Amino acid sequence: MLRFALTRILMSVPTLLIVSISVFGLIRLIPGDPASLMLGDLATPASIADLQARLGLDQSVPVQFGIWFGNLLKGDLGQSINSQQAVLPLILQRFWISAQIVLVAVALASLVAVPAGVLAAWKQDTSLDLSLVAVATLLLSIPTFWLGLLLLLFFGLKLEWLPVVGYVSIAENPIAGILYLIMPIMTLFLHEIGVILRMARASTLEVLRLDYITHARAKGLTESAVLWNHAFKNAFGPTWTLIGLVLGNLLGGIAVVETVFTIPGLGRLLVDSIFARDYPVIQGCMLFVAFTYVLVNLVIDLCYPIFDPRVTAQ
């Protein structure tokens, strides 16, 4: 177990390193002097020269990367051109807003979709299975930004049950905060049900065809014991991995939902920075999301042995 965990943790180190190199390289692909880009149009020659020296631009590219990576390890992602704020605190503040939406939506979706998917597989080819798959495929096909717009139209403008757009911090005003978050969470929740249900169904189907399930049934176990004690444990693996991927993908793709509901989250920060050519923030957001993605998948993998001890075997 320990060996498995250590190997898995060590394996993510090169990935993180290459992710950093890619993001470092991406910004260098933009024509022009990186220091002028980082400081924006209003920079003075003196401040450009100062930053050039700090970034080590007169030295070789590997040295530049070393300086940059060293700052990264210290948590220094530079300064926003627009707000002059340090990038990392800015990102963390926005990340919290996006993370609460994504985490709640994915947790709720998993609670609904995993049992529904297992049920569909168990009742394969019945009308229940067909309708569950149809609903899931439909939900999966509706882009989140349209689903959000429809919810906004219906619950916000027609029924006037929920506030239409905006964001209030839960810490400041818990009730209003929750009301503003219901629709964005519901949007992602509905969409992810489709994704997770189909995976849970497919992986359960694969397991249900194996011999040990026939054996369990032949032993005279009840169907629910076969399904939950024998099939589910083995079938849950791929779905669990998918949930990790979904979490990371949502962080990258949440900008559209934040745009629909005017929520100042991480996705919106990235998009606004692209419009404003605020390169330090763009770079910071990309690094932050990619690192989070790798770490989420690492945690997901480390939890894997809890329900499937086979992965720790060599």
Partner 1 sequence: MRLPAPNALVGGTLIGFLGIVAAVSSVWTPYDPLRLSFRAKLAAPSATHWLGTDEFGRDVLSRLMAGAATSVWISLLTVALAVSLGTVIGLFSGYVRGWVDRTIMAFNDALLAFPGILLALGLLAVVGANKYGIILALGIAYAPSVARIVRGTVLSLREREFISASRVMGNSEGFTMARHILPNCIAPLTVLATSMFGWVLLAESSLSFLGLGVPPPAPTWGNMLAGSRPYIGQAVWLGIFPGLCISLTLLGINLLGDALRDKLDPRMRGAR
- DSSP H helices, the chain, are 2-28, 34-39, 45-55, 61-73, 87-122, 127-141, 144-151, 174-208, 211-218, 223-225, 232-253, 255-260, 266-276, 279-307
> CB under 8 Å to 85, separation ≥6 — which residues?
79
Does 211 bind partner 1 (CB under 8 A)? Our answer is no
State whether residue 229 is helix, strand or coil.
helix
Q: At what angle do helices 127-141 and 87-122 cross, to 10 degrees?
A: 160
What are the beta bridge partners of residue 79?
86
Phi and psi of 277, rounded to 5°? 50, 40
Among 65, 96, 145, 155, binds partner 1 (CB under 8 A): 145
With b for 16 or more beta-carbon neighbours within 10 A and e for fewer, the 160-170 pattern comes to eebbeeebbeb
Does 22 bind partner 1 (CB under 8 A)? Our answer is yes
Comparison of 100 and 249: residue with beta carbon closer to partner 1? 249
Does 289 bind partner 1 (CB under 8 A)? Our answer is yes
Does 179 bind partner 1 (CB under 8 A)? Our answer is no
Among 92, 157, 303, 311, binds partner 1 (CB under 8 A): 157
d(CA 102, CA 307): 24
Least distance from partner 1 to the Cβ atom of residue 151, Å: 11
d(CA 204, CA 185): 27
d(CA 238, CA 36): 46
Least distance from partner 1 to the Cβ atom of residue 256, Å: 5
Among 18, 53, 92, 103, binds partner 1 (CB under 8 A): 18
| Number of residues binding to partner 1, judged by CB under 8 A | 50
Among 209, 218, 306, 313, binds partner 1 (CB under 8 A): 209
Comparison of 49 and 138: residue with beta carbon closer to partner 1? 138
Among 59, 66, 131, 146, binds partner 1 (CB under 8 A): 146
What are the beta bridge partners of residue 86?
79
Among 93, 206, 210, 303, binds partner 1 (CB under 8 A): 206
Does 149 bind partner 1 (CB under 8 A)? Our answer is yes
Binding to partner 1 in span 72-91, by CB under 8 A: none
Comparison of 57 and 294: residue with beta carbon closer to partner 1? 294
Which residues of this chain interact with partner 1, rule CB under 8 A? 14-15, 18-19, 22-23, 26-27, 29-30, 124-125, 137-138, 140-143, 145-146, 149-150, 152-153, 157, 202, 205-206, 209, 248-249, 251-253, 255-256, 259-260, 270-271, 274-275, 277, 279, 282, 286, 289-290, 293-294
